[in-house]
């Protein structure tokens, strides 16, 4: 049975100890935590006033305002609530690629990223969900916290493997409609799918006021076409084959890939989605550490 130690080394855990993950927006939730909520309730921080209506709790009457205006107003407060983090992991066949040299597949790399995020979220007493998808939602754990839930997350990550074709739009539109409260969406994928399908799903999450992070994870071979001999390339989802001489194709390939990446980055900017391109050659713990430090600085 898989455990967190199968995904995170002691060194990785050490790097994570001083980190925290936060939403750029206001969170919603029912538990006490470290994130501001737009849900109005009892708290230590005043947010607003509104006119009294029959049935309101008289303890929240603002008597100072009444003394000035002889009108009844209710004091409202911002609650400190727990953050809901939803990890969405592309588990389609293309995520099974590795260029070798001891590197993990894209799915394995994302699994470690997901385990690290889930560890952070549960350690700060927030809640995390996990969704694995290809053309459908294949596996899903609801949003919960605690050590037992963290064990379930890593067990599901270990139990699944990349297969089937990708249909991001079909898989994630249904999920977006199921989320009743806003939270932080972390989508991990190589984005080898129709950009329209990807951003249609992302738009659904953003329309519901979720904070969205898109991590596009690629192998160095995919980024650089760093092969020296004529090779046969096989589409891992369709089985289509094509023979390519990397020396002749590299320049055009990299230009086309850069246009693809720039297009994704631009659309993320328009939709206020936090985008990062990640290479599987980079240590996942180093990436998490740097990314969360950058995110914290941006929020200050």
Do residue 49 and residue 127 come from a single domain?
no
* pLDDT digits 0-9 by tens, 11-46: 999 999 889 998 876 545 444 455 655 544 444 444
Which CATH number goes with the domain that contains 236?
3.40.50.410
Do residue 101 and residue 75 come from a single domain?
no
Do residue 91 and residue 61 come from a single domain?
no
Compute the average pLDDT of residues 209-222: 96
Compute φ and ψ for 236, nearest 5 degrees: -70, -10
Number of domains observed in the structure of the chain? 2
* pLDDT digits 0-9 by tens, 39-88: 444 444 445 566 766 656 677 788 888 888 888 877 755 444 579 999 99
| Residue of 162 and 41 predicted with greater confidence | 162
Q: Give the long-range contacts of residues 227-236, CB within 8 A, separation 24 or more.
A: 235/94, 236/93, 236/94, 236/96, 236/97, 236/162
The string of DSSP letters for 199-244 reads: HHHHHHHHHTT-EEEEEEEE-HHHHH----S-EEEE-TTT--EEEE
pLDDT for residue 33: 52
Do residue 255 and residue 158 come from a single domain?
yes
Instruction: Give the domain range for residue 65.
Output: 32-81
* pLDDT digits 0-9 by tens, 55-68: 566 777 888 888 88
Dihedral of alpha carbons 126, 265, 94, 292, sign: negative
Per the listing, tokens 């049975």 go with: 1
Do residue 46 and residue 133 come from a single domain?
no
pLDDT for residue 76: 57
Do residue 245 and residue 139 come from a single domain?
yes
pTM confidence score: 0.82
Do residue 235 and residue 110 come from a single domain?
yes
Last residue of a domain, one of 19, 53, 81: 81
């Amino acid at each position: 049975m898989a455990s967190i130690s199968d995904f995170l080394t002691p060194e990785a855990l050490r790097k994570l100890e001083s980190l925290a993950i936060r939403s750029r927006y206001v969170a919603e939730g029912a538990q006490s935590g470290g994130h501001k909520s737009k849900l109005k309730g009892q708290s230590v921080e005043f947010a607003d006033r509104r006119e009294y209506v029959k049935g309101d709790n008289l303890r929240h009457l603002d008597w100072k305002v009444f003394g000035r205006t002889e009108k009844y107003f209710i004091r409202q407060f911002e609650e400190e609530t727990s953050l809901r983090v939803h990890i969405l992991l592309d588990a389609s066949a293309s995520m099974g690629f590795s260029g070798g040299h001891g590197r993990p597949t894209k799915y394995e790399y994302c699994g470690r990223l997901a385990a690290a995020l889930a560890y952070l979220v549960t350690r700060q007493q927030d809640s995390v969900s996990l969704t694995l998808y290809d053309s459908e939602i294949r596996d899903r754990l609801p949003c919960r916290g605690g050590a037992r839930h963290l064990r379930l997350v890593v067990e599901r990550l270990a139990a699944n493997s990349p297969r089937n074709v990708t249909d991001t739009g079909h898989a994630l539109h249904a999920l977006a409609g199921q989320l009743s409260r806003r939270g932080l969406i972390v989508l991990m994928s190589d984005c080898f799918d129709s950009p329209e399908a990807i951003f249609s799903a992302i738009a659904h999450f953003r329309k519901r006021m979720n904070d969205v992070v898109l991590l596009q994870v690629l192998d160095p071979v995919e980024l650089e076409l760093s092969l020296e001999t004529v090779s046969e390339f096989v589409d891992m989802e369709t089985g289509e084959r094509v023979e390519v001489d990397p020396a002749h194709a590299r320049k055009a390939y990299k230009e086309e890939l850069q246009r693809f990446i720039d297009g994704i980055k631009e659309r993320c900017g328009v939709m206020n989605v936090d985008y990062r391109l990640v290479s599987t050659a980079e240590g996942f713990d180093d990436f998490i550490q740097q990314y969360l430090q950058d995110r914290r600085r941006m929020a200050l």
